[in-house]
């Protein structure tokens, strides 16, 4: 493919899982990749089914999906939402004039509500080491923090794998602009005394944060996932769970692209 040739992406009009095993062989021939690699990629797609295709292959893939009952469309890769790694936030407050973020160094930044394009929330199953905080950069954010570390006792007689737990609830805020900025809050590490709810209420504390955020944002800025979680004592994870943090970001990228194209 000529380096100057325009490339395209195939996007689902409504997010849905695809029959990756059924589609893999035909798509592998189309894109010139190994069937196993294509299977994995189709399995984990989050609405942006494939990118970097010449127009003929994009058209073939779109027709294949439509033939299987999946509505989709073709857009230039340049029309996909562009954004860098999210900025990490340790604490936040919802104010009348906007959302006040605080980073690992205690520096605060007010984000006016009208600057927020999209708010997304979800549960992430990806495991991290339990009881040791290596800085928010562990989650793919743009700075490292100095929260201190805890190293479990060493057992010299038996090698021991560190205990791990799911990342859990995550909030993403995406700002208007091209390319857009984004911010991330990890629920377990967020403001332990928010609204008077201490450590053992972290899920409810996170859900209250979402409810407060929804008050200052326009309805069309709220992802369905956020609406389902906010305000609940024990938020339901069904339908808002992602295996990995990058999949949650990719779903947001699809959603933001669809919103851009609708304008």
Residue 54 belongs to domain with CATH number: 3.30.1390
Positions in the chain whose pLDDT score sits under 50: 132-138, 142-152, 156
In three-state secondary structure terms, 253 is helix
Token pair belonging to 197: 């709810």
Domain that holds residue 51: 8-79
Task: For residue 161, give Cα distances in angstroms to 106, 151, 155, 243.
Answer: 33, 12, 10, 21
The H or E element spanning position 74 is: strand 72-76
Last residue of a domain, one of 79, 95, 124: 79
Contact 240, 226 (CB under 8 A): no
pTM: 0.85
Give yes or no: residues 190 and 74 share one domain: no
Residues in the chain: 263
Rounded to an integer, what distance in angstroms lies between the CA atom of residue 110 and that of residue 239? 31
Give yes or no: residues 222 and 150 share one domain: yes
Domain assignment of residue 93, yes or no = yes
pLDDT of residue 191: 75
Give yes or no: residues 122 and 12 share one domain: no
Rounded to an integer, what distance in angstroms lies between the CA atom of residue 165 and that of residue 125? 8
Domain assignment of residue 1, yes or no = no
Give yes or no: residues 230 and 111 share one domain: yes
Domain assignment of residue 150, yes or no = yes
Domain assignment of residue 194, yes or no = yes
Rounded to an integer, what distance in angstroms lies between the CA atom of residue 263 and that of residue 117? 13
Domain assignment of residue 54, yes or no = yes
Give yes or no: residues 225 and 162 share one domain: yes
Contact 182, 174 (CB under 8 A): yes
Domain assignment of residue 26, yes or no = yes
Give yes or no: residues 68 and 159 share one domain: no
DSSP designation for 12: E
Give yes or no: residues 66 and 91 share one domain: no
Q: Which long-range contacts (CB under 8 A, 24 or more apart) does 199-202 make?
A: none
Contact 166, 124 (CB under 8 A): yes
Give yes or no: residues 252 and 153 share one domain: yes
Give yes or no: residues 66 and 144 share one domain: no
Alpha-carbon Rg for the chain in angstroms: 20
Domain assignment of residue 149, yes or no = yes
* Count of domains forming the chain: 2
């Amino acid at each position: 493919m000529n380096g100057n040739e325009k490339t395209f992406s195939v996007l689902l009009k409504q997010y849905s899982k695809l029959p990756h095993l059924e589609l893999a062989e035909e798509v592998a021939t189309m894109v010139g990749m190994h069937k196993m690699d294509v299977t994995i990629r189709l399995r984990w797609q989050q609405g942006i089914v494939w990118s970097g295709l010449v127009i003929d292959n994009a058209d073939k893939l779109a027709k294949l999906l439509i033939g299987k009952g999946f509505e989709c469309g073709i857009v230039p890769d340049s029309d996909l939402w562009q954004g860098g790694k999210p900025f990490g936030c340790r604490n936040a407050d919802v104010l009348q004039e906007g959302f006040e973020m605080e980073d690992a160094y205690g520096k605060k930044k007010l984000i006016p509500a009208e600057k927020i394009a999209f708010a997304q929330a979800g549960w992430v199953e990806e495991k991290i080491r339990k009881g040791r905080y290596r800085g928010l950069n562990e989650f793919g954010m743009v700075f490292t923090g100095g929260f201190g570390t805890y190293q479990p006792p060493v057992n010299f007689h038996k090698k021991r794998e560190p205990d791990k737990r799911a990342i859990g609830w995550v909030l993403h805020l995406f700002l208007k602009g091209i390319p857009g900025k984004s911010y991330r809050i990890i629920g377990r590490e967020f403001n332990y005394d928010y609204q008077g709810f201490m450590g053992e209420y972290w899920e409810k504390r996170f859900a209250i944060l979402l409810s407060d955020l929804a008050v200052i944002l326009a309805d069309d800025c709220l992802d369905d996932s956020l609406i389902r979680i906010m305000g609940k004592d024990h938020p339901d994870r069904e339908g808002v769970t992602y295996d990995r943090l990058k999949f949650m970001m990719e779903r947001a990228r699809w959603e933001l692209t669809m919103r851009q194209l609708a304008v």
